[in-house]
Structure 1
Amino acid sequence: MSVEFVNYNNQYKELVEDYQVTEEQLQFTNSPLAALELCETDADRYPIIVFHNSQLVSFFVLYINKGVEPYSDNCNAILLRSLSTDYRHLRKGFSKSILSQLPQFIKQKFININEIILAVNAENKTAQDLYKKIGFVDNEKRIQWRNSQQIIMNYAL
């Protein structure tokens, strides 16, 4: 499935405002609008929107430098945060397609990066299984976030 990664800018604001996430999704991730607020004050956060056939289907943030520190000692790692799929596009294979294409995108945009890190809620078995299928590995590190345990996973580039 073909998807296009685009660096977010304000020309896409209305599309992101129309982006739909459910309360169930928000148990495991930030909304794009909340994530964008954090990006405004942190130059190490890179918001990315994902299109399929000119429709906004997904959103995530790539975080470098200090953002990686709680998750990894690797100064050449990048943290994947706030990954979500618009509710209207769930269960269509977008997450798998995005995660499969993400390593190549990162290699092109962040030439010094050699590892992708993410945190997944211990209760979110569906996401854990997907990450493992793509090639992410549970590195046995755990952190607390929003009163729940997060499993730290990594993908070597």
Structure 2
Amino acid sequence: MLSTKASVVLVEYTDTYEEHLSNYYLPEEQLQFTSMPLDKINNPSVSSTANHVLNLEDGVPVGYFALEDGEKLLKYSTNPTARLLTSFSIDARNQGKGLAKIGLQLLPEFVRNNLFGTDEFVLGVNQKNTPAYNLYLKTGFVDENEFYEGPKGPQHILHLKV
């Protein structure tokens, strides 16, 4: 059997992906650490300047995250040219295929091409979410031993320079 490498890209969310995202699935144990994509995209408390980014495999959305600025960012960083990466997830039916890692590896290039002037990402990862913490470290994020007390417990603040 021949195997072909899937084409994985990051793209800005548009309404054309809404139907795919309405079928997005995450189990309860993961929802304690993230949000469903459409819930985040349609959340009025998210900055209107946030970027909603999809991880596509062969043109189909398999992952999502937001890049936020404004008040929420200031809880994690004093860098005015940073973006806060939030709500990172891969649809549960597509987990275990390396798509999260590939998406995070594509992030710096995506930002250089789409978010001019952004020179760093920061994120908070719950101390209880060891798989996510390890994934972020494997893809270049650095733990500078900073913490944020989030609504669901302490979070490691991780940094990635672009």
- TM-score normalized by the length of structure 1: 0.93
In the other structure, the counterpart of 1:99 is 104
Aligned counterparts of 2:132 and 2:152: Cα–Cα separation in 1: 18
In the other structure, the counterpart of 2:3 is none
- Matching residue within 69, 72, 77 for 2:74: 69
Instruction: Report the aligned-residue RMSD.
Output: 1.6
Task: Find the residue that maps to 1:38 and give its secondary structure.
Answer: coil
2:155 is aligned with 1:132? no
1:117 counterpart letter in structure 2 = V
Asked if the contact 1:5–1:50 (Cα under 8 Å) also holds between the matched residues in 2, the reply is yes
Asked if the contact 1:39–1:47 (Cα under 8 Å) also holds between the matched residues in 2, the reply is no
Residues 147, 66 of structure 1: alpha-carbon distance in 2 compared, 3 angstrom cutoff: closer
The CA deviation at 1:71 is 0.4
The CA deviation at 1:69 is 0.7
Asked if the contact 1:63–1:78 (Cα under 8 Å) also holds between the matched residues in 2, the reply is yes
The CA deviation at 1:84 is 0.4
Asked if the contact 2:47–2:69 (Cα under 8 Å) also holds between the matched residues in 1, the reply is no
Q: Report % sequence identity.
A: 32
2:117 is aligned with 1:112? yes
* Stretch moving more, 80-89 or 5-14: 5-14
Residues 65, 40 of structure 1: alpha-carbon distance in 2 compared, 3 angstrom cutoff: closer
2:61 is aligned with 1:48? no
The CA deviation at 1:65 is 3.2
In the other structure, the counterpart of 1:13 is 18
In the other structure, the counterpart of 1:85 is 90
Aligned counterparts of 1:101 and 1:2: Cα–Cα separation in 2: 12
Aligned counterparts of 1:9 and 1:39: Cα–Cα separation in 2: 17
Asked if the contact 1:39–1:45 (Cα under 8 Å) also holds between the matched residues in 2, the reply is no
- Where has structure 1 moved over 6 Å in runs of 4 or more? none
- Which runs of 5 or more structure 2 residues have no equivalent in the other structure? 1-5
Asked if the contact 1:140–1:151 (Cα under 8 Å) also holds between the matched residues in 2, the reply is yes
- Which runs of 5 or more structure 1 residues have no equivalent in the other structure? none
Task: Find the residue that maps to 2:138 and give its secondary structure.
Answer: helix
Q: Name the one with the larger helix percent.
A: 1
- TM-score normalized by the length of structure 2: 0.90
Aligned counterparts of 1:139 and 1:41: Cα–Cα separation in 2: 26
Deviation by residue 1:98-143 (Cα, 9 ceiling, x = unmatched): 0111011111111111111011010111111111111111122211
